[in-house]
């Protein structure tokens, strides 16, 4: 939502989490979570973002002069990074709303050396729909859940290792027997090495998967299942001088 206040950035429409940059379509934006692509950034018909704000350290939008390290994109690059967990003590926080609930846990694995952070969100919108008077809405369902985590470990004064992962699942059915589902999964392993005060490198191994399917099994005669998936693998090393 903050990105929508920047020049040249517009929403794709009401009730949607996507954005258009300078006339480009939503699929011309590269969205990264800890350097791994996220192929669907919406939850629950676009009312929620896939990013849990409690575990984010930074979000940078590049819409002109995009760096070559991002591989090139027509419209923009939206780079989101997860923060490290608390290396001193265990902490937690949570929240609840009429539709969703969330909790975040973080703390040290080894004092001042390694830490973890985990954020979990889920919805109980199906229960809310069952209370409505409109039969069309009572016969509908929709919901999502996601979990994101990061483990950071300092190997020594010159090497830092981080492992991050994200998984989400969405489903909805609008007054019919057709059920829509989609899943986002990604993970990355990064090693940051410092050669000197002027030179350092970041090596990363990453995986991303997006799976979407539509099914209808209420009537066996007309039952069907349609699905597709995208698998993404990458390894790269960047040197900064």
pLDDT score for 10: 86
User: What does the alpha-carbon distance between residue 51 and residue 32 come to, in Å, rounded to a whole number?
Assistant: 11
pLDDT score for 175: 73
Rg (CA), the chain: 20
Write down the pLDDT at residue 13.
72
Digit-by-digit pLDDT tens for the chain (241 residues) are: 778 888 888 887 765 667 889 888 888 889 999 889 998 888 877 778 888 889 999 999 998 888 888 876 788 999 999 999 999 999 999 999 888 899 999 999 998 899 999 999 998 877 777 777 777 777 777 889 999 999 999 999 999 999 999 999 998 887 777 888 999 999 999 999 999 999 999 999 999 999 999 988 878 888 889 999 999 999 999 999 9
pTM of the model: 0.87
Q: What confidence score (pLDDT) does residue 221 get? A: 86
Which whole-number Å values give the CA distances from 126 to 49, 96, 129, 131, 216, in the listed order? 19, 16, 5, 9, 19
Look at the alpha carbons of 85, 86, 91, 94 in this order and tell me if their dihedral is positive or negative: negative
pLDDT value for 72: 67
Conformational region of residue 214, where left means phi above 0, alpha means psi within -120 to 50, and beta covers everything else: beta
- pLDDT given for residue 16 in this prediction: 63
Phi and psi at residue 59, in whole multiples of 5°? -145, 115
**What local confidence, expressed as pLDDT, does residue 100 receive?**
87
Q: What pLDDT is recorded for position 14? A: 67
């Amino acid at each position: 939502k903050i990105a929508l206040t920047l020049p040249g950035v517009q929403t794709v429409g009401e009730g949607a989490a996507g954005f258009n940059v300078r006339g480009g379509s939503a699929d011309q934006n590269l969205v990264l979570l800890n350097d791994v692509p996220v192929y669907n950034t919406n939850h629950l018909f676009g009312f929620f973002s896939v990013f849990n704000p409690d575990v984010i350290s930074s979000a940078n939008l590049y819409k002109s002069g995009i760096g070559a390290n991002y591989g090139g994109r027509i419209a923009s690059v939206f780079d989101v990074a997860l923060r490290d967990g608390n290396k001193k003590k265990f902490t937690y926080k949570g929240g609840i709303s009429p539709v969703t609930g969330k909790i975040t846990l973080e703390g040290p694995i080894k004092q001042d050396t390694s830490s973890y952070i985990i954020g979990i969100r889920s919805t109980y919108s199906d229960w809310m729909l069952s209370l409505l008077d409109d039969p069309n809405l009572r016969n509908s369902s929709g919901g999502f859940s996601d979990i994101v985590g990061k483990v950071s470990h300092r190997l020594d004064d010159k090497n830092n290792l981080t492992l991050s992962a994200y998984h989400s699942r969405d489903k909805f059915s609008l007054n019919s027997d057709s059920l829509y589902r989609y899943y986002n999964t990604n993970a990355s392993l990064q090693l940051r090495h410092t050669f000197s005060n002027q030179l350092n490198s970041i090596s990363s191994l990453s995986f991303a998967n997006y799976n979407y399917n539509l099914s209808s099994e209420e009537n066996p005669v007309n039952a069907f299942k349609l699905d597709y998936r995208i698998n993404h693998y990458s390894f790269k090393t960047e040197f900064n001088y």
